[in-house]
Amino acid sequence: MQHSEEILIIDFGSQYTQLIARRVREINVFSVITPHTISIEEIKKRKPKGIILSGGPLSVYDEGAPSIDSEIFDLNIPLLGICYGLQLICSKLGGKVEPADDREYGKASLHREENSLLLKNVLEYSYVWMSHGDLVTNIPENFCVTASSDHTSFCAIENQKKKIFGVQFHPEVNHTEEGKKIIHNFVYDICGCSAKWNSSNFISTTVKEIKAKTGNKNVICALSGGVDSTVAAVLVQKAIGDALTCIHIDNGLMRKHESKKIMKMFNESLHLNVKCIDAVDLFLNRLAGVSEPEQKRKIIGNTFIEVFESEALKIENAEFLVQGTLYPDVIESVSVKGKSATIKTHHNVGGLPEKMNLKLIEPFRELFKDEVRKVGKDLNIPAEFIERHPFPGPGLAVRVIGEVTRKRLSILREADNIFIKEIKNAGIYNDIWQAFAVLLPVQSVGVMGDSRTYENVMTLRAVTSTDGMTADWFRFDSEFLADVSNKIINKVKGINRVVYDISSKPPSTIEWE
């Protein structure tokens, strides 16, 4: 979809590139990320109001380092270079970049030195976040220095006439105190954008597009019960009404009473046309004896496709399939080198569209998770549902470490239900990005009454995050953990030990499998 105004973010491999896009969207301007391999012709075609060059892990003088056509500086489009982006501007326009004697990582003090369009109303002294091993040692002709730090003389530069700006620090991260102000100055004052990007405008535009695309054909949607697929279904229904048929497959890998609860919401609150398919026996029989995580995922994915295809073929005149693909999934499918990579298997419905000759409707392929939640709220989906923690595509199969059996699933469900219920009772559910229990393939000795026990170990996991790309473990009060542990051991038969996971991502992942 081409937007009336957008900020184009050219990615050179920074871990913060998605964060730049989110910061621009937070101030109601659409942003799009593209690999550095984008051509000048494509940039001209997109007609962005501004361009941001991201950071990156390489040095501009490395052999094979990502670069860009110098013609970009003559397009008369405002341009902001961040970290590697600043160094690229300098190396391309006659400045000099060299390895730094003192590499700068983490917090640094920024000194704003003179009047600047980019740093307008920024405090004279503020903290910024650095992450670089190279330094600009000479700036291009007709540029002026607008800020410095203890180790970096050229911390911010600009050429107001050509509207080219560069900063050595990362304004997109929270650690940069005045970062949001700097991005606002660039997007509004320098690029001249207006606040046109919001969930209400998105809904009205997307509804029109879906109506035009589908015509009088039927549409099917695989409704897992997750936030993305549910919001997508409600949005598509708003566009085409009864022409949408949703299929919910109960695979036996959901949380306690989950299929029953979400079917009630689908029918009574959202009034969706949903068929519920009981495939519990099929899934669990195929998972019997399987312990390897990727094999479990493949069995679940293939079985899902088989069941879904069988049901979808019963719907006449169906030509479209709704998927809740998000923007990070799209970004992850293209590397910094511009080569295609495979989108994670659990993010989409495998090879189903090609197999059944279906055309895709992916209304959220330009949205981040938090933006989908906003759309859901505007569509009057209950807040309790919209604010739910993420749930993995393969469900509890990746939280039962080792073989998946009915008994082990039952133990996990009961413990997970107690954990989540206590979090909600404590009023901290929305402070946590994701919380869940994991059943380990480990047994330990315990004592209950006068008897010796030899039972299972349950791990509790809770993290804070903004997008799941990085995460830190949540700091529960010790009394809370003691109470939850006590409840799980007393109420869940088969558990005699509870542990809490205090690993961050990286180096660990959020899920265990």
Q: Which residues are catalytic?
A: 83, 170, 172
Q: How many helices and strands, by DSSP H and E, does the chain display?
A: 15, 18
In sequence order, the 6+-apart residues with CB closer than 8 A to the CB of 102 are: 151
SS3 track for 1-22: CCCCCEEEEEECCCCCHHHHHH
Nearest to 385 by CA among 232, 226, 234, 257: 226
CA distance 270 to 80: 44
Supply 360's token pair: 């895709």
Nearest to 176 by CA among 236, 110, 132: 110
CA distance 348 to 333: 12
Nearest to 283 by CA among 250, 247, 251, 249: 251
Supply 291's token pair: 């312990």
Supply 474's token pair: 């949540």
Name the CA dihedral angle for 62, 63, 68, 74, rounded to a multiple of 10 degrees: 70
CA distance 388 to 429: 9
Radius of gyration for the alpha carbons in the chain, expressed in angstroms and rounded: 26
Q: Across the beta sheet with 156-159, what order do the strands follow?
A: 30-35, 6-11, 50-53, 79-82, 164-167, 156-159, 144-148, 96-112, 125-138
Cα separation values, 317 from 19, 230, 320, 358, Å? 41, 23, 9, 11
Q: Please, what's the largest Cα pairwise distance for the chain?
A: 84
CA distance 337 to 67: 10
Helix 199-214 × helix 369-378 angle, to 10°: 80
Cα separation values, 363 from 68, 203, 229, 239, 338, Å? 31, 9, 10, 12, 24
